Structures are given as C-alpha cells and as structure tokens.
Amino acid sequence: MRYQIYWLLFIAFTLSAVEWYSLAQDFDVVISTTNRKSFTIVDQVKDPAERKAFLALYGKMSPREKAKLAEDFLGAYPQSWLLAQVYEIAAKSYIDLEDYPNALRCGKESLRLLPESPLLLVPLANVQARQSFLTEAKQNAIKAMQQLDRLSRPDSIPEREWPDLERQLKASTLFVLGRVAVSEAFGQPSGEKRKELLRQSERHLLQARALNPLDPEIPYLMGLSYLSLGKVEGAATSFAIAYQLKGTMQPQALQQLRRIYETSNVQAQLPFETFLDKMAQKGREPASGQSIPLTGTPQANAARTAPVVAQDQPNESPGYAGSAACRQCHLEQHQAWQQTGMSRMFRPYRPENVLGEFSQNNEFYAGEEVKLRGSQLEVISGKARFLFARMVMEEGRHYFQIKHSDGRWVRYPVDYTIGSKWQQAYATRLPNGQIHVFPIQYNALHRRWINFWKIIDTEGSERADVSSFEKLGMGTSYQANCAVCHTSQLRNIKGRGFEFDNLEFRETGINCEMCHGPSARHVAAMTAGKSYTKQPLEPPVDFNRINARDYVAICAQCHMQSAMRESGPLGELNFSGRATAFFQRSQSRPLAEFSRKAFYKDGRFRETTFIVEALYRTACFQKGQVSCGHCHDPHGQNASANPKSLKFLDQPDRMCLQCHSQFAQSAERHTRHPIQSEGSRCVSCHMPPIMNSLLFQARTHQIDDIPNAAMTLRFGPEESPNACLLCHTDRGTDWLKQQLLAYNHN
C-alpha cells in the first residue's frame, strides 16, 4: 500500500511536472494566495537540446526507462539549472524499481541542491527506514513534517487533490517516525528506555492512522508495538484492522492473530473465526474519544513553524497604541529605533531625507543594460537608448519628470522616500489617494540612477519596463506591492484582497508594534501604574524570553520572500486582528517555483530577499536555538555607522562564539589563518558575501556554509562561489581542492 501511494504520487508528479517546472515566481515582490505570478522557467535554459532532454522526462514510459533518461540527462548536462528536479525523478524511479541504493544516492543529490522538497523527503525517509538507516530516516521525516506544515500547495498538484495528498504524506511521515521508534525500541534491553520508545511509536502511529485509515501497514506496526508493551488486546485489534484492509499485510496479520489466539485462554472459549470476527468488530468501533494532536517528536515540534490557528473571534479594535506611545517609558530604545532603517523604511517627503542627486547626474536613459561585475557597475548602452526621466529641483522641492509614450514630459512630485541606506526609491501620491512608486531608484553606493527591477527581474517583467509607469496601475502601486513590508498595520478597509484603492496603513515605516504587537493594554496599564502578569509572547513581546522559532517568525513577516500573504477577516494584510496571535505565520510558496535567478546552480540562495529561508536551512536553526537577535540589534546605537544593526560590529566572532565557545581559544588552529586576519573570522568561511543585495554582495545567512571544492569544480566560481577563492582571487579550483583536502585530512 505504501509503495502504491508512492506510485500515485509519482504519477501525479509526472503528469503535472511540465507545468510545475515550466512556471516560476518572480522575487522581491509580495506574494498572496491570489496573485501567484509566474513565467516560463524552462526558457531560462538556453540550450534547446537541454530543454528537449528535460521535457522528454515527462513522457509516458516505464520507471526503468525514466531512470535511464534521467541518468543520461545528468551525464550530458552536469551544470544544468534543473539538476534537483532530474535527480528527484531518478530517485523516485529507482524507488519504484526497488533499487534503493541508487534511490538514496539520487535523492541525496537532489536534496543537496533543493532541501525543501517534502514530495521527495517522504518516500526517501520510508526507504531509509526500511533499509535500517534510522538516523537518516528520522531526520528526513522531521524535515518533511516541518516543510509540509510550512509550505503551501505546489502548483503541480491540483487544489482539489492537495488536502488528501497532504494527509497521506503526513501519515506516511508519522509512520516513518513510528517505525524508527519501534526499531530503536527492539534494539534496547527491557527497561524504561524501551517502553518510552514504544509509547512514542504508539503516539506517532495513532496520529498516522487518524490521517490515513486505509493503510494496513500502520495498524500492523501498531500491533507489533502493542505486543512489545504487553497490550495483547490492543495488538489483536490492530492486527485485525490490518487483516480487514487486505493487501500485502493480510497474511502476516493473520499469522499474528493466530499466534495471539493460540497463546491465550480465548481459544478454550471461542473458535478462531469467532475470535477473528470479534477483534474485527472491535477494530471497526470508533476510537476511545481521546484527541490525538498531530505532532511529531519533540524535535519535530521544535522545528515546525506551522501557521497559528487562533480560536478567538476577530477583534475590531486590536489595541494598537502607536509608536509615539512607547516613547514615554522607552525613550532610549525609541530614539535608537528612529535612526534605523526600519523606522525610515517609508517616510513622508522631507528634503533632508532625499539621498538621490536631483541637480547633477540627474538623468536616466532607458535602454541601458546595467550589470554588477564584482564591486563595479558596468553600463552598456543599447541601440534604443533614450532619455526617459529627469530628476529635478524646483523651488526647493524634488520632482520626477517622466517622458510618456506620446512624447509629453509629465512632472510628478516626490511625496515619499523609500529606504535610507544603500538605495532609495521615491513615490508620488495621486489626488485619489493612490501612491505609485517611480520605476527609477537611486543607488547611493554607485551614485547612479538605475532601473533596479530590470537588473533583478526576468525578461518580460512588466515593472522592469519603465514605460509602463504612465499606466499608474497595479504594477506600480505602493499599497499593493510594497506596503506589506514597508509600512505598519496594513489593511483592506473594504474587502480582503490587495486592491490598492482600498488599502490603508496605520503608520509609515516599521513601527514598534509590528514586532512587539498591539500594546494599547500595556500602555494603559503602565500609565495607570497597574502592572499585570503576561506570557513572553503576549504583546508587547519580550524578545529576551521567547524561543528562537517565534523570534524568527516575527522577523519573517518581512524578511521571508516566499511568504504567501493571506488577508485576515477584517482585511488585515501584514498583521492579525486576533488577540492570540498578532503576527502572521504565513505559509511559503515552494522554492522550486521561483525564478532560477534567485539561486546559484549549487542550490544556495543568490538574493537577500530569501534571508530567512537561508537561515531555515541551517543546523544553527534546525538543531540549535539561533535567532536573528543573536547577531542583530534592532535598537542599536549609531545606525549610520552600523547600517546592518550588528550586535558585535567590531568583534564579529562573538556572534558565533555565543554558541561555539570551544573555538574561543583555538581560532587560529581551527581557521589556519593568523588570528587578526580576515581569513580567521568565522563569517569569512561560513557566511561569505555571496548574496545579491542593493548592488552589493551581502553575507549568506545559510550560516553553516562550508567551502565545497566539488561544487565549485562542477559549476565554476560564478555559479558556486567559494569563500576561499573570494579572498585568494589569484588562485584556482585545483589549488582550492588541494587546500581543502589537506584541511579536512588534518
């Protein structure tokens, strides 16, 4: 039955994968449940032969033929963008062929490139459990459960089919956890440890059976667990359920039932057939009434970031006091916050806040190509180059002059500034209240006006076409595209979507209550001198006392690109009107559905908009308790000198030594670099600057990144940048391989 599920899953994947893998989502854009924009990803593969070979994998053929085609593709195109998908196809084909060594080999390679793949993790964990790779099976099952909770429906699965498939996948994941616990228990001597593992197995299997009552393997394994616990009647009932469900487990279930019958005093009272009917009848009775929460192991629970389901009713007055109310008691933090990028994310126009040049170097020509080569900006003039915009000052005020398609120059006032550090965008407010963002931004690092969207978007992006600005439509709307992460308490006052005519926000920028939650009750109580007891996560949130998962989830409201925004019952778009959960734990769009421009070919993230997703991949997050607050201080002093809000700006190793204290006295021996050199800094090796930000390279937040010579040799430094070669620019990949081999050997 379990492999029938895999086959059905494989068929569903195969029939729809051409659509899934030919569509992808742009990044640096708000994604909602209703605006999942997509474009053809296969077109990003420039080689027609490679595209043809990839699409051939989705024809009707036997698993053996499919595995052969996949292996041929991997041999012919070892640097393809599509390796994760092809390895996954190969792994599932080998599972169906019961060629488990090759299935595990290909599955491992796919997950190395794209770890967020529950449709692969689940069957792979089952294979590992069957092959007695219990540690790996447990790890992949935990990751699968975490991802099934966090990720939204893949585009490849029809919406009507996803709930049932998701239940089966979760049931299969819980079955693996139950099987691992049983196997571990059987390896223990009699005692409390063995009993606890069996009880753990029972919990997992009860949950699995509740989700998928038609799989006979689940009750059969439950029967074995019950037998070991001495619960003979429970074992007999479970085996009877497995027997009734027929399939491949029926003979084994019948054998177990006969054994129980023959070793009990029932045989003197009832014929076997009557005993069998009695147990079968008992198995058909409803469960005892106890509610089994759908949780995994304690480790899985810690790793999960499932959406919060609040039980209270929407609160029309969620109790927001405004950032000014915090100033009275928290003056130091308030003053520091006012200097940060979060406070200055979006501000009403004031001349002193403008970074751009409006008197000199103040023209922008459409038709120019801009590329970042290392730290240098390369500008290539196209044949169709023409003057599109002039940024000017008139009577002390800043304006954009935009050339419309009919040749007219139209002047727009700058009414808002967006950003305050490395780059700044500008917006104008129309008489009807709509706010529209100009398509040209000013990059302060390179002192140049740029069309930023043309640099990061895929070909054909509407917002990258500067001439579309004159439409003043959804594509340039600040409220619809930017306000979710750049303003506070955004809501639709007339509905539940992102219709930009109906959106309003409480405050510009990111205010105190976007992070700490609605605090009107707290302000009133403190003003009246009436203190009260509250939980750490209850607003105002005490970040020093909450767990790392909640900490990162609050930051992820803005810093998780893949978040699928969903409107609340009162039109809330970046907050919750419910008292029990002020912040939204959004599900994520599957990462395989994003533009390949967001990734390197070695699977790592290329763009800083995926900063939380990168952190989610790390052992520091999955196994440790790392949070954003370990390294960043949102109330840090001297924001102008410390624009990244780093806690330990002058002693960066302290960020890592908080947890990895064993290296404090042996850093030089560990890094093989002089202690005061850049090469001896933790971040130089484990957080190299490889993520594209605002025309500069930011450090990856896939923190446990380790220099990998094999990946760089395979894909080249452009598609697998290596921390060693970022410093040793005069060296090549052969030298890199030798150095890392020597390092690992020693």
120-152 per-position pLDDT tens digit: 999 999 999 999 999 999 999 999 999 999 999
Which uninterrupted H or E stretch holds 365?
A: strand 363-373
pLDDT digits (tens, 9 = 90+) for 682-729: 999 999 999 999 899 999 999 977 899 999 999 999 999 999 999 999
Q: Residue 388: what pLDDT?
A: 97
Q: Residue 312: what pLDDT?
A: 37
Query: Under a CB-based contact definition with an 8 Å cutoff, are residues 155 and 148 in contact?
Result: no
User: pLDDT band at residue 303, thresholds of 50, 70 and 90?
Assistant: very low
Q: Residue 12: what pLDDT?
A: 43
Average the pLDDT over 727-736 and give the result: 94
Q: Residue 563: what pLDDT?
A: 92
What separation in angstroms does the CA of 641 have from each of 321, 610, 632?
A: 31, 25, 14
pLDDT digits (tens, 9 = 90+) for 417-431: 999 999 999 999 999
What number of other Cβ atoms are within 10 A of residue 308's Cβ? 15
Beta bridge pairs of residue 428: 436
User: pLDDT band at residue 580, thresholds of 50, 70 and 90?
Assistant: low
Query: Under a CB-based contact definition with an 8 Å cutoff, are residues 295 and 200 in contact?
Result: no
Please determine, for residue 206, whether its predicted confidence score (pLDDT) is greater than 90: yes
Please determine, for residue 645, whether its predicted confidence score (pLDDT) is greater than 70: yes
> CATH number of the domain at 2-213, please?
1.25.40.10
Q: 23-45 as b/e, with b when 16 or more CB fall inside 10 Å? A: bbbbbbbbbbeebeeebebbebb
Amino acid at site 437: V
Least confident stretch, 161-165, 197-201, 489-493, 740-744: 740-744
Q: 403-421 as b/e, with b when 16 or more CB fall inside 10 Å? A: beeeeeeeebebbbbbbbb
Average the pLDDT over 652-656 and give the result: 95
Average the pLDDT over 665-677 and give the result: 92
DSSP calls for 71-121: HHHHHH-TT-TTHHHHHHHHHHHHHHTT-HHHHHHHHHHHHHH----HHHH
Q: Residue 280: what pLDDT?
A: 82
- Delimit the domains of the chain by residue range: 2-213, 216-287, 324-341+488-545+562-584, 346-476, 592-706
Average the pLDDT over 560-567 and give the result: 90
Query: Under a CB-based contact definition with an 8 Å cutoff, are residues 21 and 592 in contact?
Result: yes
Q: Residue 37: what pLDDT?
A: 58
User: pLDDT band at residue 497, thresholds of 50, 70 and 90?
Assistant: confident
Q: Residue 67: what pLDDT?
A: 98
Sign of CA dihedral 360, 364, 368, 370: positive
Please determine, for residue 635, whether its predicted confidence score (pLDDT) is greater than 80: yes
**Dist CA 88 CA 5 (whole Å):** 16
Name the more confident of 292 and 716. 716
Query: Under a CB-based contact definition with an 8 Å cutoff, are residues 472 and 466 in contact?
Result: no
In this prediction the pTM is 0.89
Query: Under a CB-based contact definition with an 8 Å cutoff, are residues 625 and 599 in contact?
Result: no
pLDDT digits (tens, 9 = 90+) for 43-78: 678 899 999 999 999 888 999 999 999 999 999 999
Q: What is the mean pLDDT of the chain?
A: 88
**Dist CA 17 CA 157 (whole Å):** 9
Which pair of tokens denotes residue 18? 């051409």
Which uninterrupted H or E stretch holds 382?
A: strand 376-394
What number of other Cβ atoms are within 10 A of residue 49's Cβ? 10
Peptide bond into 115 cis (omega under 30): no
User: pLDDT band at residue 366, thresholds of 50, 70 and 90?
Assistant: very high
pLDDT digits (tens, 9 = 90+) for 431-466: 999 999 999 999 999 999 999 888 888 777 888 899
